[in-house]
Amino acid sequence: MFELKEDDDACKKAQRTGAFYLFHSLAPLVQKSEHQYVVPRYSLVELERLLETFGQDTQKIEDSVLIGCSGQQEAWFALDLGLKSSSSTSASLQKPEMETELKGSFTELRKALFHLSMKDATLLSTAQALLHWHDAHQFCSRSGQPTKKNMAGSKRVCPSNKIIYYPQMAPVVITLVSDGPRCLLVRQSSFPKGMYSALAGFCDIGESLEEAVRREVAEEVGLEMDRLQYSASQHWPFPNSSLMIACHATVKPGQTEIQMNLRELEAAAWFSHDEVATALRRKGPYTQQQDGTFPFWLPPKLAIAHLLIKEWLEKQSCSSLPASPRSSHLHLS
């Protein structure tokens, strides 16, 4: 994988035996099966034929990005058919016509994640993040000149001053707050109806993990933290590629009155073990019920918030936080 990222010739050679995932305007191509989405892959020969059918120059393949390799050393790439490219022509087919030819649909990634396997979700998340980054960073911030992508898409270089730009992720803390028997869940207006999740916010420059958690929880729900436990991390392609740093936090004794920040949140509430366990068994998103409300449900299994909530449920059967090889306890002073 490292060689393919750094060696343009090796990467181009790998494309001949590799597989390509297709996107249109950052939405991945999926084909619906009975229970989940199937993500089709195409060989280089198949892709060249499709591009000619769509009225696009085969040179567009150079816009693809390397997103991984199989255990058998098959390279995987992603190509967006909808983003602007110098190789596009005015005769290019429209999105609906492409979908008909491909026997699938270009589906918003947020929606597709509810129906994808873990492997496909990880690959498509990586692909979407890289494609989005390249589309948004086509010019050098110092010279203003167009930058050039290397073959793998692992970097962009300004030809005029040789500055190298690498894709980056923004650190985000996501924290499940608990007072012991209850956990705090919130929702934003942008969430699907009825869905609640853990608190999350971007880290500010200069902040430590502990400081970011303490500030976010205080700003959004007005609570003070007593103890923090790291859980895990996850790349998340939204809004512009984030590194989600997941933690459990307990509030100080007696500090349970929520003071919700209405500019950030639509709702915030404490939920019991039974309420959360019931919601975790539901699979959303849901449609409106006859009484006009939506069922209370939680993020899908692919989201790290789901892991945090599941871990909290398991801990309720123990009198103290269990030790874990990957976990570290941090105390907030």
Beta bridge partners of 246: 174, 232
Neighbour tally for 250: CB within 10 Å: 17
pLDDT-derived band of residue 331, with 50, 70 and 90 as boundaries?
very low
C-beta of residue 147 within 8 angstroms of C-beta of residue 139: yes
Q: Is the dihedral of CA 240, 245, 246, 251 positive or negative?
A: negative
Query: What pLDDT is recorded for position 212?
Result: 97
pLDDT at residue 325 above 50? no
| 276-302 pLDDT, tens digit each | 999 998 877 777 777 878 889 999 889
Rounded to the nearest integer, the mean pLDDT of the chain is 90
What's the pTM? 0.86
pLDDT in tens, 167-192: 999 999 999 999 989 999 999 999 98
Q: Is the pLDDT of residue 210 over 80?
A: yes
Q: How far apart are CA 125 and CA 67, in angstroms?
A: 9
Inform me whether the pLDDT recorded for 219 exceeds 60. yes
- How sure is the predictor about 34, in pLDDT bands with cuts at 50, 70 and 90? confident
CA-to-CA distance for 333 and 331, rounded, in angstroms?
A: 6
Three-class secondary structure of residue 74 per DSSP: coil
Ordered domains of the chain (ranges, CATH): 2-137 (3.90.79), 170-331 (3.90.79.10)
**From CA 20, how far away is CA 74, in angstroms rounded?**
11
What is the band of 157 on the pLDDT scale with cuts at 50, 70, 90?
very high
Q: Per residue in 86-132, pLDDT tens? A: 444 445 789 999 999 999 999 999 989 888 988 999 999 999 999 99
Please indicate whether residue 170 or residue 325 has the higher confidence score (pLDDT): 170
pLDDT tens digit sequence for 261-277: 999 999 999 999 999 99
- Helix (H/G/I), strand (E/B), else coil: 16: helix
